[in-house]
Structure 1
Amino acid sequence: MELVTTHAHTSFCGHGEGTVEELAAAAEAAGVTTLAVTEHYPLSKAFDPRDYLSMPAARVGEYLAAIDEARERHPGLEIIAGCELDWLGADDDRTIGEDDLAPFQLVLGSVHFVDAWPFDDPSQRGRWDEPGAPDAIWRRYFELWCDAVSSDAPFHVMSHPDLAKKFAYYPTYDVAPLYEQAAEACAAAGRMVEVNTSGSYYACKEMFPAPALLRRFCRAGVPCTVGTDAHHPEHVARDVEAAYRLMYECGYRTVTVPTATGDRREIDLIL
């Protein structure tokens, strides 16, 4: 069965490693047929003063050129020029027009900030330890996630839908209503989601999204793809087959794959 990953990073962001060429070479060697390179879209200096979280705006052209060069060197590998765009809601201090995103064939939508706080940044995780914090943060996270998916932002795929679990802090209440809201909002907006394999390597020890949330997405008719969220070339195809198994167990029978032309194709899940 062919392997795909529609979420991967490079050293163009401050917390990634490897060049686009190294990522593409590793993907081809691993048998990947579709690779979306999805570097973090630039944040302002107010949000990312050290260019650690995102790609510097001045390097976007260089990034796109590197993807074009990788395509020439790997004609048998479909390489999609993408980006991961943070939803900042009312706190967004950027002006992003259609022309800014036009070069990107795939835009991942992500919520990494809760009211301007990067809740999944290990260096800023202290707020999670405050009394009652997980209850409030989880509720606010899913509120913002639903705002993002329901917005007019040009997101094609919503990334790691339950990222709030990354550090294994969980609320005291039943999260099922939050899951239902997320699935309903995503289905109504016609967006896709991903199974993101990186979660297995964080404190939560579980892919994003949790099986219970993935089942709800499936029942709601939300198409699903797979992303490894690799930040190092050697992780480009990590656990893709395990993600397929999780999808199958949760009711999916096809993997939906974005293409470089903007269309979607389907891969049958045969396990």
Structure 2
Amino acid sequence: MELVTTHTHTSFCGHGEGTVEELVSAAEAAGVTTIAVTEHYPLSAAFDPNAYLSMPAERVGEYLDAVQEARRRHPNVEVIVGCELDWLGADEDRVITAADLAPFELVLGSVHFVDAWPFDDPAQRDRWDELGAPDIIWRRYFDLWCDAVSSEVPFDVMSHPDLAKKFAYYPSYDVTPLYEQAAEVCAAAGRMVEVNTSGSYYACKEMFPAPELLAAFCRAGVPCTVGTDAHTPANVVRDVEQAYRLMAQAGYRTVTVPTADGDRRSIML
């Protein structure tokens, strides 16, 4: 079956490895037909003082050139110029214009911060251990996620929709209403979601989103793609076929694939 990944990273961010060329070469060798290179869009120094979480602003031009060069060198692979843009809600301290995002053919939307706290950072996870914290954090996370989906920011795909489960801290209540709300809001906004295969390698031990949330997205008619969230070329195509099976089990019959011209195409499952 055709293999695609629409969420990947490189050494342009502080926690990634490998060049764009190495990433795309690995993708082609693995039989990938479409790859979106989606480096983390720059955060301010207040959120990312060491340029570890995101790409430095002064390197954006270099990054864009590198993806275009990889596209030229690999004409048999559709290489999409993308970025992963954090939703910061009321804590947003950047001014991001339409011109700033214009070079990117695919914009992934992510929530990595809950009220300026990077809740999925292993170095800052202590708050999860506070009494009742998972109950509060999960609800706040999904509130922010739905805000991002409903915003005017041109997110094409919402990444790892239930990232709050990363460290396997779960709330005491039934999360089904959160899932249903997320699916309804996403469908109304016309956004896509992804199955992100990286979740299997964290404490939660399952892909993002959970099967129940993925099924809710399917029932709501939300298109779904697949991203490996690879931060090293070796993982560029990791578990894509398993993601396809997860989608099929949730009720999907096609994988939706963004294209470089802003359109979408489908792969039958």
Q: TM-score range by the shorter chain?
A: over 0.9
Deviates more, 1:212-221 or 1:66-75: 66-75
Alignment deviations for residues 16-54 of structure 1 (CA, whole Å, 9 cap, x no partner): 000000000000000000000000000000000000000
SS at match of 2:148: helix
Aligned to 1:223: 223
The Cα shift of 1:98 comes to 0.3
Aligned to 1:194: 194
Aligned to 2:268: 268
Alignment deviations for residues 88-113 of structure 1 (CA, whole Å, 9 cap, x no partner): 01100000000000000000000000
The Cα shift of 1:148 comes to 0.4
What residue identity is the alignment partner of 2:11?
Answer: S
What residue identity is the alignment partner of 2:186?
Answer: C
Q: Distance in 1 between matches of 2:35 and 2:183?
A: 26
Aligned to 2:50: 50
Q: Distance in 1 between matches of 2:121 and 2:29?
A: 31
Aligned to 1:79: 79
Q: Distance in 2 between matches of 1:151 and 1:68?
A: 29
What residue identity is the alignment partner of 2:71?
Answer: R
What residue identity is the alignment partner of 2:262?
Answer: G
SS at match of 1:135: helix
**Gaps spanning 5+ residues in structure 2: where?**
none
Aligned to 2:95: 95
Aligned to 1:29: 29
Q: Distance in 1 between matches of 2:262 and 2:203?
A: 35
Alignment deviations for residues 206-265 of structure 1 (CA, whole Å, 9 cap, x no partner): 000000000000000000000000000000000000000000000000000000000000
Aligned to 2:145: 145
What residue identity is the alignment partner of 1:232?
Answer: T
Aligned to 2:182: 182
Aligned to 1:134: 134
Sequence identity of aligned pairs in percent? 83
Aligned to 2:248: 248
What residue identity is the alignment partner of 2:220?
Answer: A
Aligned to 1:117: 117
SS at match of 1:180: helix
What residue identity is the alignment partner of 2:247?
Answer: M
SS at match of 2:238: coil
SS at match of 1:256: strand
Q: Distance in 1 between matches of 2:253 and 2:196?
A: 17
TM-score (norm 2): 1.00
The Cα shift of 1:72 comes to 1.2
**Gaps spanning 5+ residues in structure 1: where?**
none
SS at match of 2:218: helix
What residue identity is the alignment partner of 1:38?
Answer: T
SS at match of 1:113: coil
SS at match of 1:118: coil
What residue identity is the alignment partner of 1:169?
Answer: Y
Aligned to 2:5: 5
SS at match of 1:79: strand
Aligned to 1:170: 170
Aligned to 2:66: 66
Q: Distance in 2 between matches of 1:65 and 1:4?
A: 22
SS at match of 1:155: coil
Q: Distance in 2 between matches of 1:177 and 1:136?
A: 15
The Cα shift of 1:79 comes to 0.2
Q: Distance in 1 between matches of 2:68 and 2:187?
A: 33
Q: Distance in 1 between matches of 2:24 and 2:78?
A: 10
What residue identity is the alignment partner of 1:178?
Answer: L
Q: Report whether the alignment pairs 1:15 with 2:9.
A: no
| Pairs aligned (count) | 269
